[in-house]
């Protein structure tokens, strides 16, 4: 575990430059890429406390917690603005950023396309500038995809525009609200999609209530309205973002939270089908492993007394790249083993975002709830039923 607290000196020589995380499908602040296997996000005390006291049973369904890090805004010699994490003695070796990462390459290409490479210019300011004009619509258009020069693999160059939108908004906010030398604390978490070549990701906000116990009356009313007007109220789950790899076209189909908020129950059902569809066929082999893991998660949630996962999300993840076809049997040769397709399909179910999660011991003056989280369980049961219906061909 890597922990660096507020006693930091602020010396960032040799620090890690944080990159936008290109597979961020939801959220409001940017999730950043620390290295290939690690993402980081601004530290919220409740979420920090949650990860620090995580029950063993929940660990298989959450990203591995890797500690905290101090981050600050830094301008390079050309005036380019970036977020830099302070160097960590303990992190050497295991937490090194690769300058060859796809995120870096895509980010640099984006800087070029937004005109941010001239000396003395600020690419993020350029991006902000372009985002405030018509390209913003292009960038946020829900089915937008980004390709670079011919000859490059287009799939390698596709990313979710939501992450860049959040990154830009986050930097703008940091610049306007804090002095440049202010130190910020971030959480380091396992990047739960790093093992996937073309990660298909569905972000589901769970439960019938979103606001935390500390929400103002205005925030509470706003969140209650969003729940009442979306599938959160009737299903205990709503879509907060998704990306699905379209195998033939070699790009991601992306949907944002605004799309998810407008869905009816029938629309939600349809969107789940779309999440499992690669453009040519429904990946039915994924249903069994997803259902199996969701049932296991349901057992864990039912066993956790006092937890209320307000505003938390569940990520469903699989690879858009299908496993290679098994080799054909040579005539007269031995029959190849026949593992069931479901055993081959890798999927991940991960709970994330605990900034408003409450449980006995988490908040000295807050409410203490009895028993397991009924809203989360309601959402999981409905999700299981809908996926079961899809499996049954309904
Ligand atoms: N540990 C992680 N690994 C991979 N992707 C993540 C991880 N945590 C968050 N994300 C991505 O970032 C998005 C926003 O994350 P979240 O924790 O909900 O942020 P916020 O607190 O801003 O709502 C998610 O929809 C997901 O795509
Ligand atoms: Mg979130």
Ligand 1 atom closest to residue 193's alpha carbon, by position in its atom list: 4
Pick the closest to residue 357 from 206, 246, 193 (CA basis).
206
With the most atoms of ligand 1 within 8 angstroms of its CB, the residue from 36, 352, 355 to mutate is 352
Q: Which atom of ligand 1 is nearest to the CA of 201?
A: 27
Q: Is 160 a pocket residue for ligand 1 (Cβ < 6 Å)?
A: no
* 273, two tokens: 């089908």
Atom of ligand 1 nearest to the CA of 241: 25
Q: Which ligand is nearest to the CA of 47?
A: 1
CA of 22 to the centre of ligand 1 (A): 11
Hey, which residues does 71 pair with through a beta bridge? Answer: 85, 184
* Ligand 1 atom at minimal distance to the Cα of residue 353: 17
Record the pTM.
0.80
The full set of domains in the chain, from first to last, is 12-190 (no CATH), 199-391 (3.30.470.160)
Ligand 1 close to Cβ of residue 29 (< 6 A): yes
Q: Cβ(205)–Cβ(311) under 8 Å?
A: yes
Q: Is the CB of 39 under 6 A from ligand 1?
A: yes
- Closest-CA residue, ligand 1 atom 20, reads 27
Measured in Å, residue 356 CA sits from the centre of ligand 2 at 10
Q: What is the per-residue pLDDT for 329?
A: 58
User: From the CB of 192, is ligand 1 less than 6 Å away?
Assistant: yes
Mutation choice for ligand 1 from 21, 23, 24, CB with most ligand atoms inside 8 A: 24
pLDDT tens for the chain, 394 residues: list them.
Answer: 555 443 333 344 578 989 889 899 999 888 999 999 999 999 999 999 999 999 999 999 999 999 999 998 887 777 777 889 986 544 433 443 333 344 444 444 444 444 332 333 333 333 333 333 323 333 333 333 333 333 333 333 367 788 878 877 887 778 778 777 788 999 999 999 999 999 999 999 999 999 999 899 999 999 999 999 999 999 999 999 999 999 999 999 999 999 999 999 999 999 999 999 999 999 999 999 999 999 999 999 999 999 999 999 999 999 998 766 655 656 666 665 555 554 568 999 999 999 999 999 887 667 899 999 999 999 999 999 999 999 999 7
Residues whose CB falls within 8 Å of the CB of residue 69, separated by 6 or more in sequence, listed in order = 2, 4, 34, 40, 85, 86, 88, 185, 186, 188
Q: How far is the CA of 206 from the centre of ligand 1 (A)?
A: 14
CA of 13 to the centre of ligand 2 (A): 32
Q: What's residue 122's pLDDT?
A: 34
Rounded distance from Cα 353 to ligand 2 centre (Å) = 5
Q: What is the pLDDT of residue 352?
A: 98
Looking at residue 322, what is its pLDDT? 75
- Tell me, in angstroms, the distance from the centre of ligand 1 to residue 195's CA: 16
Q: Residue 148 and residue 150: Cα distance in Å, rounded?
A: 7
Nearest protein CA to atom 22 of ligand 1, as residue:
27
Q: Is the Cβ atom of 189 under 6 angstroms away from ligand 1? A: yes
Cβ of residue 358 lying under 6 Å from some atom of ligand 1: no
Distance 260 CA to ligand 2 centre (A): 13
d(CA 330, CA 387): 38
């Amino acid at each position: 575990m890597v922990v660096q607290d507020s006693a930091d000196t602020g010396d960032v020589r040799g620090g890690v430059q944080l990159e936008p995380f290109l597979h961020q499908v939801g959220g409001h602040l940017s999730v950043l890429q620390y290295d290939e296997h690690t993402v980081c996000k601004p530290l919220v005390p409740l979420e920090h406390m949650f990860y620090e006291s995580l029950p063993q049973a929940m660990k298989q369904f959450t990203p591995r917690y890797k500690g905290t890090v101090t981050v600050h805004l830094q301008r390079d010699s050309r005036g380019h603005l970036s977020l830099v994490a302070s160097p960590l003695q303990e992190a050497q070796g295991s937490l090194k950023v690769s300058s060859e990462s796809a995120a870096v390459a895509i980010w640099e290409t984006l800087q070029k396309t937004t005109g941010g490479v001239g000396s003395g210019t600020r690419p993020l300011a350029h991006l902000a500038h372009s985002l405030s004009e018509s390209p913003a619509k292009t960038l946020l258009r829900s089915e937008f995809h980004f390709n670079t020069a011919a000859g490059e693999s287009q799939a390698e160059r596709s990313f979710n525009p939501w992450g860049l939108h959040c990154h830009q908004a986050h930097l703008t906010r940091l610049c306007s609200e804090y002095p440049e030398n202010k130190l910020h604390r971030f959480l380091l978490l396992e990047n739960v999609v790093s093992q996937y070549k073309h990660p298909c990701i569905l972000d589901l906000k769970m439960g019938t209530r979103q606001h935390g116990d500390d929400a103002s009356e205005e925030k509470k009313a706003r969140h209650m309205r969003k729940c009442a007007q979306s599938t959160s109220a009737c299903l205990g789950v709503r879509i907060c973002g998704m990306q699905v790899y379209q195998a033939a076209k070699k790009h991601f189909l992306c949907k944002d939270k605004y799309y998810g908020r407008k869905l009816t129950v029938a629309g939600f059902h349809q969107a789940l089908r779309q999440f499992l569809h690669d453009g040519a066929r429904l990946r039915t082999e994924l249903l069994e492993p997803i259902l199996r893991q969701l049932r296991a998660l349901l057992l864990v949630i039912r066993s956790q007394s006092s937890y209320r996962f307000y505003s938390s999300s569940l990520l469903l993840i699989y690879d858009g790249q299908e496993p290679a076809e098994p080799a054909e049997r040579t005539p007269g040769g031995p029959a190849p083993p026949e593992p069931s397709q479901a055993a081959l399909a890798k999927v991940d179910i991960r709970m994330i975002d605990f900034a408003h999660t409450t449980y006995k011991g988490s908040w000295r003056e807050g409410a203490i709830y009895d028993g397991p989280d009924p809203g989360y369980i309601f959402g999981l049961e409905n999700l299981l039923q809908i996926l079961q219906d899809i499996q049954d061909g309904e």
